[in-house]
Structure 1
Amino acid sequence: MATAKGDLDMEAMETEFLGLQVNPKDCQSQDICISPSQVKNKAGGYVYKTDPETQLIRLIEEGSGEKVVQIIKEFSEKGRAYRQDTVLFALAVCCKSNDSETKCAGDFMKSERKKPNFCTSSLADIVEYLDKVEDAKKSKNLKIIVELILKYKLVREHIPTCFLNEKDVWKALIKHMPMTAMMRNLGKMSSLNLFRTKAEALNEISFEEQIVTNKLKNRELIHKAKIHPYSYLVALSKYRQGMAKNVNLSWPVCPHIADALEEGFYLSFLNITPTKKHFLLALDVTCDTHLPENVCEVDAHHLSALDAAIFMMVQNARTEPFCETILFSNDENISISVNPSESFHDLKRKVREKISNPRSPKSDVSLPFKYALERRKIVDVFVIFTNVDKSLGNVHPTQAMKFYKESSGKKDTRLIVCEMASSIHSVGDIEDHFTLTVSGFDSHVPKLINDFALKII
């Protein structure tokens, strides 16, 4: 059969191109994951997950840009977004779009300005505020910066860095400073001598010190700002240190500020809603549990693993009607009473007295379950604070938990293991839906524990 020259050339090209096998043996089927970045699609095949910005751009390219802007406005106006940062980022992507309709819809402020009734609309105040924020960023004049702060209630993030060492700027900021921002910046304000030191205690109290101390222990403001007690504890411990190594800053400690932080700490427990579950808190007191270097949170280097555990003891004693606390090691359980009115420092002192004697370098994490069984305790939630790499007991903790459930009839008892030292291991069964393993500790952990106890997660 005759063959055209063009067909021969194409055949030669295909032969050359197909020099490699069409289905090489080292290729995997799409139902096998070949990258950590892959996820399963609805058909069961592994594909790559796109980031939110790419997904947003795709919606715009598909012609849904104006609808996206409308949704962004709705989320912002109705307060449906947890933080406004993500809303503003999404809006910025729309404003930078090459699609003219999306770009026009995104820059709705420009179109609103042209409307006859704009000056009397609610948007006018917003636009004026945004304009003043921009003026502050560009300003080189201290007097103008202070005036803008006082008139438009600007916050620290609006102020150019070159003015953040000016005492007058902080005096202006402090008047309308949000609670959490104020707690974060106590060290900075003390470094600028806005508050009295211990040696100056007999001097007249400053206006700024009066504002801060009143706010820190104001029950209504604490409730409104929804400040968690652990945030207060971090702020108090950090402030009393008189220094922050991560930003190379030191300050003189004002006793009245420290006292106000401590008072606010105990008032903030009113922000916690009790679960009304039966808790058993168990603290591992083997030889290295309470070492200061066992840090729990990257932003709280001054707090130890013991501090975090003591905090949970105080929180549950003050908020939960049914809670018991024990200490355990390799061979014994030690019951410890925690009074609801007991202070953090008094309880810490009491625990230290209990663990002052040298103990085994290994711990038996099954002991809390044994304690509950021997005393026929009804426990909804076990919370164990331990160092997983020191766990070596006679009974595996997961088996002890299973035995407790079977013996007590409490099939839905939950276990929360707070691993206070970084590790790649876990004493809790990661496949068990009734077990939660937490590595480290921060202000989100107490709520996580309560949510897990309530079966919200």
Structure 2
Amino acid sequence: MRIPEGPAAQNTFDWIVRGSVGDRTPRLIEGFVRAQEAGDTATWAALVREYGLSWEMLPDAAHGEVAVWDALHDSGVPQTALMRQLPRPTRLGMLPDIGGRTDEVVAQLTDPARLRAARVHPVNVLVAQRTYASGHSARSGATWAPSRKVTDALDAAFYTAFGAVKPSGKRTLLAVDVSGSMTQSISGMPISAREASAALALVQLATEPSATAVGFTSRYGARTWRESALAPLRISPRQRLDDALRVADAMPFAGTDCTLPMIYATEKRLKIDTFVVYTDNETWAGAIHPHQALAEYRRRSGIDAKLIVVGMTATGFSIADPSDSGMLDVVGFDAAVPSLITEFARGL
């Protein structure tokens, strides 16, 4: 909605503060008010078409009406809203295997241009796919019988959405925790830390012009889990997510020593702009602290490198030096984290 000016702005203010609608009140507000006052399906559907109302602008009672959702789809449901709201038309029987609005919805979900325009990150699509395929909502308790075609379309959209990712353009070393504890779900979302980290690694390997991935594994002949090392995580951006997960599962795992990526890059003489660690909640430092290892890498390489540590299920940890603007701790995980990582790497 465009921010109104002049009399329209005054009328908008009057509606917000006093609930009054004037001659210059924007049409969208007028349509919203009329929708709240209406009480029948035909009127709601007509208002959607006349004013271009979105589903959020309608009363809860309207959300359970097929005719209203037909009107919303005819007017155009935005890409991210479509992914979030798929259970509703599914429960209403609008997305059968044959007929209904299924082919139209499938075409929109997998449309590369729409995914790019909406800047939909593949991890957002993965969360939507896992939620929809599960057939139930963890938050509301609602259930539905997922459509096979829609489930498959979301799976395809995950890979198509790689083209919507804006890369940081930085030389990136991804260090991934491959331990058994990574199988726990994150932040009430229908994906595990293992799936999220593998998905992010695939995306960054596919979109960053210069990126490589390693896994936290055990040293040869190690006697404790803390005797960890890094080894190449041999996944390709051309692989499917399930294949990447199998590669990670096959690696022997050890502790997540957050100093190792900088030590590894120093020993291998790698030119790295951004170090990214993906783990659940088990982060720690070895003989030296990560900020010391990062400072040493910067000194030896001459690169003002950054370090990002993402503890996807953590409730609290401290790796970053608060006085160092090139270090970032991410505690927990949601769909905004991938963009945060990219923007921090770019220095925004």
Q: 1:344 aligns with which of 219, 241, 244?
A: 241
| d(CA) in 1 for partners of 2:11, 2:196 | 35
Matched, 1:366 2:259: yes
Q: Distance in 2 between matches of 1:92 and 1:226?
A: 34
- Greater mean alpha carbon deviation, residues 275-284 or residues 416-425: 416-425
Structure 2 regions of 5+ residues with no counterpart?
A: 218-225
CA distance in 2, matches of 1:205, 1:353: 43
Aligned amino acid, residue 40 of structure 2? N
Asked if 1:407 corresponds to 2:300, the answer is: yes
TM-superposed deviation, 1:231: 1.7
2:234–2:247 contact (8 Å) kept in structure 1: no
2:89 to 178, 189, 192: 189
Check conservation: 2:177, 2:216, Cα contact below 8 A: yes
Q: Judging changes above 3 Å, is the alpha-carbon distance between structure 1 residues 185 and 387 closer, same or farther for their aligned structure 2 residues?
A: closer
Q: Structure 1: which amino acid aligns with 2:133?
A: R
Match of 2:209 among 311, 321, 337: 321
**Which SS does the other structure have where 1:455 is aligned?**
coil
1:388: Cα distance to partner? 5.4
3-state SS of 2:288 partner:
coil
- Give the alignment of 1:33-432 within 5 angstroms: 76-77=3-4, 91=13, 95-96=17-18, 110=22, 113=23, 126-127=26-27, 129-175=28-74, 176-196=76-96, 201=97, 204-206=98-100, 208-288=101-181, 290-293=182-185, 295=186, 297-298=187-188, 301-329=189-217, 330=226, 331-355=228-252, 359-360=253-254, 362-387=255-280, 389-410=282-303, 412-432=304-324
Residue range with higher mean Cα deviation, 435-444 or 388-397: 388-397
Give per-residue Cα distances to partners, 1:14-35, cap 9 Å, x unaligned: xxxxxxxxxxxxxxxxxxxxxx
Residue-by-residue CA offset, 1:335-376 (whole Å, 9 max, x unaligned): 112322222222122212225xxx55x432222222212211
Q: RMSD across aligned C-alpha pairs, in angstroms? A: 2.8
CA distance in 1, matches of 2:85, 2:302: 51
Given the alignment of the two structures, is residue 440 of structure 1 paired with residue 332 of structure 2, yes or no? yes
Q: Say if 1:388 and 1:427, in contact at 8 Å, map to a contact too.
A: no
Alignment check: 8 A CA contact 1:380 1:414 kept: yes
Kept after mapping to 1: 8 A contact 2:174/2:276: yes
Shift of 1:270: 1.8
Structure 2: how far apart are the matches of 1:89 and 1:238?
41
Distance (whole Å) between structure 2 residues aligned to residue 88 and residue 454 of structure 1: 40
5+ residue gaps, structure 1: 1-72, 79-86, 97-105, 114-122
- Which amino acid counterpart does residue 218 of structure 1 have in structure 2? D
Say if 1:413 and 1:89 are closer, same or farther in 2 by CA, change over 3 A.
farther
State the 1:327 CA deviation.
0.4
Which of structures 1 and 2 has the bigger CA Rg?
1
In structure 2, how many angstroms separate the alpha carbons of the residues matched to 1:185 and 1:276?
33
Residues 405-454 of structure 1 deviation map (CA, whole Å, 9 limit, x = unaligned) = 222232x0111111223233212212211111111222222222122212
Q: Tell me how far apart the structure 2 counterparts of residues 186 and 192 of structure 1 sit (CA, whole Å).
A: 10
Change (3 A) 1:249 1:378: same
Give the structure-2-normalised TM-score: 0.86
Q: Secondary structure at the match of 1:250?
A: coil
Poorly superposed stretches of 4+, deviation over 6 Å: 87-90
Kept after mapping to 1: 8 A contact 2:317/2:331: no
Question: 1:88: Cα distance to partner?
Answer: 10
Letter in 1 for 2:99: I
SS at match of 1:247: coil
Do 1:174 and 1:182's aligned partners in 2 also have CA atoms closer than 8 Å? no
Greater relative CO (CA pairs within 8 A, separation 6+): 2
Query: Are the aligned partners of 1:281 and 1:323 in contact in 2 as well (CA < 8 Å)?
Result: yes
Offset of 1:92 from its aligned partner? 5.2
- Deviation track 1:212-239 (CA, whole Å, cap 9, x = no partner) reads 1111111222222222222212111111
Residue 380 of structure 1: CA displacement?
A: 0.8
**Are residues 88 and 332 of structure 1, via their aligned partners in 2, closer, same or farther at CA, if it must alter by over 3 Å?**
farther
What is the count of residue pairs matched by the alignment?
A: 335
Q: How big is the shift at 1:249?
A: 0.8
- The alpha carbon displacement at 1:326 in A equals 0.3
Q: CA deviation at 1:389?
A: 4.5
For residue 402 of structure 1, what is the amino acid of its counterpart? A
C-alpha distance 90-173 of structure 1, shift in aligned 2 (>3 A): closer
Deviations 1:20-53 (A, max 9, x none): xxxxxxxxxxxxxxxxxxxxxxxxxxxxxxxxxx
- The offset of 1:251, in angstroms, is 0.8
For residues 139-181 of structure 1, give each alpha carbon's deviation from its aligned partner in whole angstroms, at most 9, with x where no partner exists: 2222222222233332212322223222222222222222221
Decide whether the 8 Å contact of 2:193 with 2:280 is kept in 1.
no
TM-score by length of 1: 0.67
Identify if the C-alpha distance between structure 1 residues 352 and 138 changes in structure 2 by more than 3 Å, giving closer, same or farther. Answer: same
Is the CA contact 2:291–2:321 (under 8 Å) kept in the aligned structure 1?
Answer: yes
